[in-house]
A and B are shown apart, each in its own frame.
Chain A
Amino acid sequence: MKLHHLLMAKPWIWSFAATITVWIVTVLFTGGASSFGLSQAALTFAAFSVVVGIGQMFVITLGPGNIDLSVPATMTLSGTLALKLMDVQDGMIVVGLLASIGIGLIIGIGNYVLIKALRIPPIIATLSMSFIVQSVAIWSNRGLRIKPPETLADFATSSLFGIPNVALVALILSIAAWVLLEKSIYGRWISAIGQSTFAARMAGIPVDGTRLVTYMLCAVLASVCGYLLASFSGGAALNMGSEYLLMSIAVVVIGGTAVAGGNSNIPGIWGASLFMFLVVSMLNTYGFGAGFRLILTGLIIIAVILLAGGRQSLR
């Protein structure tokens, strides 16, 4: 009974258990040869999902219907414009980062203006916004592939004590997000809004301000992720964000955050991000074709939800 209680209290344990299982299965198959390389690759690619996942988690915590579909477009625009601005000069790295944060802030404000002023459901508001953002990215990119500054590219692709730098950045951001969520008044506010917006408003919580800040935070994390991803992969591409739309939602939910809002979970995002990457690489090592890989990925997502599910949900 005690174990059962522990599992219920810490839903993120599921995603870590699944991750470790998949890791062991993959390493066993390759005879232990790949354990270091696999772990490094998993940490690197999970880091990007973690950064966008945290932003999406804050938004989902706000309650039913809150979701940000503009994440991929934001990543693309921020990566494109930041690289264009830096123009391969090392001295411009900080300026580029600030520019991408600025882009995130503008998109976040835009999203919330649509949601609040036009009362458009967030899913449609952020979708319309993402169309516009994507257009700006296409217009500014023009098919050119600008390389990131040398120092920045080195930073994004190298590691410190065996841990990839991007994973360290994601870790720092996660700790900051955890403090924000668990220890600050803002974190209490978003959980309260997610549990009952009406009660939160009655309790005197500035609901609109909190929601605005949350959408801005999500967009800023997405644009920082775009900046890192563009530096890591040696240039921005127009479709670089596309796989992160479903990924950002999947890692949040598999990680044990309640889809109905009001209850979020940061360690779970790490577990789920590592899990999602490892599942794909496990199926790759077993030599499955693209079709089977997709089918198994889908079935595994559903299986994890079935095992960990049964909590309150948005239906």
Chain B
Amino acid sequence: MKLSSGTIRLIIPAASLVLLLAAVFYMQPRAMSYTGLNLLFNLAVPIALATIAQMLIMSVNDLDLSMGTFVSFCACVSATFLQSSPALGILIFLGAIAAYALIGVVIYVRDLPSIVVTLGMSFVWGGLAVLILPSPGGTAPTWARWLMTAKPPLVPMAIVASILIAAVTHCIVMRSSFGVLMRGVGGNDRSVERAGWSVLGLRAATYALAGFFAVLAGIALVGLTTSADANIALRYTLLSIAGVILGGGQFVGGKVSPIGAVIGALTLTLAGSFLSFMRISPDWQIGAQGAILIVVLALRLALNRLEKREKSQ
């Protein structure tokens, strides 16, 4: 059987996830259970959603440095407005998604660097989050709480959700004509434009879709933590970028993989649990996370070489 290069690119992220999982099970056999798996991967759901959002932005060659503050903002809205007056909460989210689409348009029309515009937006989202929740608090909407703590038979919720996210985004990004056009914009926006498509519209739609997934990440996060805080998800900016890269995505050229991105997010979450099972002193936990990142990327390099060798044959 001949494997496509897309499948090959997925092997390393998947293999590193399995390896890490095996190491966790070896050290803590009790984790090999329904509850254990749920605990291990629980926090992965919001990270996976944020990673997907970042991946969409990266597929049109941009980078969103406001992801962490935006997810924090969404979490604050979920824990306050969405809980007390759902209609207003949904309206705020629609406004935020429209703001994302607008950012996508402004970046394209004025030919601005996305890094700087989203950097500026990160202050705006952070400020709005502080205005909504000056101190940690709020309550998760009951349905979000129910959804995140649901216990489906056989497979834990976190796994079901991750598979669902991967499947849905795979359909959107890899199977739909919109997904092809979106990645086309990342690959060569001029040829997409010459073919008669509106790059402006495509970029606006991509940004709006990314905003939508980031909103979901905020709701999922609050469903897990039950309350919110203006700084709750600041780590997500860097985690989401690292997740996309770990999953085989690239910064330019529209080369992204939704399944890879979800696997990347799971790997990053598991790396955290792995380190606490290793009983590494808390001083070195962050450092060890960096080391894991480096090792996985080194493995990817080895695989890329393999892929090239196969192509040249």
- Cβ-defined contact, A294 with B241, below 8 A: no
Q: A310 and B111 in contact (CB under 8 A), knowing A65-B251, A250-B116, A295-B127? A: yes
Instruction: List which A250-303 residues lie within 8 A (CB) of chain B.
Output: 250, 253-254, 259-260, 289-302
Q: Which of B117, B245, B283, B290 contacts A130 (CB 8 A)?
A: B290
How far, in whole Å, are A272 and B128 apart by their CA atoms in the complex?
24
B291 & A132 in contact (Cβ 8 Å cutoff): yes
Q: A interface, by DSSP: helix, strand, loop or mixed?
A: helix
A136-B287, A301-B116, A309-B111 known; A118+B126 contact, CB < 8 A: no
**Chain B residues near A315 (CB-CB < 8 A):** 61-62, 107-108, 111-114
* A120-128, A158-166, A204-212 - interface stretch: A120-128
CB-CB under 8 A from B127, the residues of chain A are 290-298
Q: Which of B247-267 contact A (CB under 8 A)?
A: 251-252
Kindly list chain B residues whose C-beta atoms are within 8 Å of the C-beta of A259.
Answer: 113, 115-116
Q: Let me know if B115 and A314 touch, CB within 8 A.
A: yes
B122 touches A132 (CB 8 A): no
Residues of B within 8 A of A302 (CB): 117, 120-121
> Is the beta-carbon distance between B286 and A131 smaller than 8 angstroms?
yes
Bound form: Cα–Cα A40–B49 in Å: 46
Interface centre among A118, A125, A136, A300, by most chain B C-beta atoms within 10 angstroms, is: A118
A253 adjacent to B113 (CB under 8 Å): yes
A292 — which chain B residues lie within 8 A by C-beta? Answer: 127, 131
Residues of B within 8 A of A119 (CB): 301, 304
Q: A315 CA to B288 CA in the complex, in Å?
A: 32
Partner of B120 from A69, A136, A305, A312 at Cβ < 8 Å = A305
Q: In the complex, which residues of chain A have a beta carbon less than 8 angstroms from the beta carbon of B147?
A: none
Are A295 and B123 interface neighbours, CB within 8 A?
Answer: yes
How far apart are the CA atoms of A315 and B116 in the complex, in Å? 10
Q: For residues 275 through 313 of chain B, which have their beta carbon under 8 Å from a beta carbon of chain A? A: 281, 283-291, 293-294, 297-298, 301, 304
**Taking the complex as formed, is A64 at the interface, i.e. its CB lies under 8 A from any CB of chain B?**
yes
Inter-chain contacts of A128 with B (CB < 8 A): 290-291, 293-294, 297
The reply to whether A294 and B119 contact each other, CB–CB distance below 8 Å, is no
The interface on chain B, measured as residues whose beta carbon lies within 8 A of the other chain's beta carbons, has a size of 50
In the assembled complex, B124 has its CB within 8 A of some CB on chain A: yes
A291-B130, A291-B134, A309-B112 known; A127 and B238 CB under 8 Å? yes
Are A306 and B285 in contact, CB atoms less than 8 angstroms apart?
no
CB pair B284–A306 under 8 Å, yes or no, is: no
For residue B192, CB closer than 8 A to chain A, the reply is no
Q: Which residues of A contact B200 (CB under 8 A)?
A: none
Question: Any chain B CB within 8 A of the CB of A156?
Answer: no
Tell me the complex Cα distance, A69–B115, Å: 13
Kindly list chain A residues whose C-beta atoms are within 8 Å of the C-beta of B224.
Answer: none
- Whether, in the assembled complex, B194 has its beta carbon less than 8 Å from a beta carbon of chain A, the answer is no
Q: Provide the bound-state CA to CA distance between A311 and B284, in Å.
A: 43
Q: How far is the CB of A196 from chain B (nearest CB, A)?
A: 15
Q: Which residues of B contact A120 (CB under 8 A)?
A: 294, 297, 301
For B114, the closest partner residue in chain A by CB is A315
A313 to B116, CA, bound (A): 10
What are 30 A-B pairs with beta-carbon distances under 8 A? A120-B294, A123-B251, A124-B245, A124-B293, A127-B241, A127-B242, A127-B290, A131-B289, A132-B290, A134-B287, A139-B283, A246-B65, A249-B115, A260-B113, A289-B131, A290-B127, A290-B130, A290-B134, A294-B123, A297-B127, A298-B123, A302-B117, A306-B106, A306-B112, A309-B110, A309-B111, A314-B113, A314-B114, A315-B61, A315-B108
Using CB atoms and an 8 Å cutoff, list the residues of chain A in contact with chain B. 64-65, 69, 114, 118-121, 123-125, 127-136, 138-139, 246, 249-250, 253-254, 259-260, 289-302, 305-306, 309-315
Q: Other CB < 8 Å A-B pairs besides A124-B245, A128-B291, 18 of them? A: A114-B294, A120-B301, A124-B242, A127-B238, A128-B290, A131-B290, A132-B291, A259-B115, A289-B131, A291-B130, A291-B134, A294-B126, A294-B127, A295-B123, A302-B120, A305-B120, A315-B111, A315-B114
